[in-house]
Amino acid sequence: MKQRETSLNSPLNGHQHMEDMGDEHIPGSFETPLREDAFEMDDELKMELIEKHFREIMHVLGLDLSDDSLKGTPRRVAKMFVKEIFSGLNPKNKPEITLFENKYRYNEMLVEKDITFYSFCEHHFVPIWGKAHVAYISSGKVIGLSKLNRIVQYYARRPQVQERMTVQIANELKAVLDTEDVAVLIDAKHMCVAARGVQDTASSTVTAYYGGRFKNEATKQEFLRYLSPTGE
């Protein structure tokens, strides 16, 4: 499998033409670009407007919206956008995190691997899917294991760039756990690579963030060994 790994501990530099950015997957910033009034409109109105505009897109494409199979599609797409695949845009859907005292005095690495996620490329609005692997070393608090999965899902459910998503997950873990000792690795496939453009179905993209003690080569390699199918 062909892969590329990008380390995301420092900001990316350089400018490219907009038509090139879709293929290069270069994020402009590590915050999702949102307008200040992004949540002044309620979900019902958003769905009503998306339904209207998506119906027009289908009409322009020449589809017969009176057909039984198609006439409900604009509403289904609108609901899917707002309530499901882009629900991570809305801060009200951010998972509530409860921390616990590290009563067991477990001071080693904790790894949650193979977290399946589905996201959408913000350049072409086609799927990104893969596995996220996250780890941290406790600074005195621990987090419920399912919350690690929920954090990944929250940031995946928005139009994304994989590099940005990797850093957003890492920054959230650092803030919640009050530690720099976090690592995030994402291995994903992109439909904008597989279904259009170069049409390469075999490749995947790997991005990684290493903070605090994970910048130490021995600690990093320990984390990567846990991700190996053989553990070696």
What is the distance between the alpha carbons of residues 103 and 45, in angstroms, rounded to a whole number?
Answer: 47
- Answer yes or no: 232 catalytic: no
Model pLDDT, residue 105? 76
123 is catalytic: yes
Please give the domain boundaries of the chain with CATH numbers for all domains: 3-8+17-26+97-227 (3.30.1130.10), 43-89 (1.10.286.10)
Question: What pLDDT, on a 0 to 100 scale, did the predictor assign at position 14?
Answer: 38
Segment 213-220 long-range contacts (CB within 8 Å, at least 24 positions apart): 213/137, 213/180, 213/181, 214/135, 214/181, 214/182, 214/183, 215/9, 219/109, 220/183
Residue from 48, 124, 180, 222 carrying the catalytic annotation:
124
Q: What is the pLDDT of residue 7?
A: 55
Q: Residue 227 has what pLDDT?
A: 96
- The predicted structure's pLDDT at residue 23: 52
Q: How many CB atoms lie within 10 A of CB 107?
A: 10
Mean pLDDT by 10 residues, the chain (232 residues): 49 42 56 94 97 98 98 98 97 93 84 97 96 95 93 98 97 96 97 89 94 98 92 60
* pLDDT number for residue 22: 47
In this predicted structure, what is the pLDDT of residue 232? 61
pLDDT for residue 13: 39
Active site residue 153: no
Note if 124 is an active site residue: yes
The confidence score (pLDDT) of residue 98 equals 87
Residue among 25, 123, 153, 160 flagged as catalytic:
123
Catalytic residue among 122, 163, 168, 172: 122
